[in-house]
Amino acid sequence: MLTSIVKKYFASISIAILTLASLIGIHSKHLAEQQDYDPKCVEFGPTIWSKQRAKAYALAYMKVHHPTWTRAEWRSLNKLWGKESAWNMHADNPESSAYGIAQVLNTKPGTPAPLQIEKGLSYIVHRYDKPSIAWSHWRKNGWY
């Protein structure tokens, strides 16, 4: 019980720090080095948003906002968005208005990665209830 409360607390703090840093454009060379800086990662303003950082944000967000979801839900989401965009916040579908990590329709280019993730999870909850069902639908149809 206590460990789940502590995990929730640290996840909340991580979400707050990552969101604040992305929204106000804090750049920290030291932070980038700690996050296993990848030269192929994308820039969001002066803050670097790598695929690893986007995944960490999504996992922390899930732990706080969907505490009943199991690790299997995270694996499903990771596979789903890996297929949709390869976790690239600049992924663009030329055949539709889908854009970003979650490839949600009508997402505007330049939308910050945290907002793309939150919008994508909101869509999944609204349409499928949880990532495993969305992933199952994607495997059958090639879209979600």
Whether pTM > 0.85 for this model: the answer is no
pLDDT score at 103: 97
Residue 24, token pair as written in the block: 């106000």
Which range among 22-36, 80-94, 115-129 shows the weakest confidence by mean pLDDT? 22-36
Distance CA 47, CA 45 (A): 5
pLDDT score at 40: 42
- The three-point CA angle 102-45-124 to 5° equals 15
Q: What is the pLDDT of residues 37-51, one digit of tens each?
A: 344 444 444 467 899
Q: What is the pLDDT of residues 7-35, one digit of tens each?
A: 777 677 777 776 666 555 544 444 444 44
- For residues 142 and 46, the model is more confident at 142
pLDDT score at 44: 45
Beta bridge partners of 15: none
pLDDT score at 51: 94
- For residues 46 and 96, the model is more confident at 96
pLDDT score at 43: 44
Return the domain boundaries, the chain: 2-141
> What mean pLDDT comes out for the span 72-100?
96
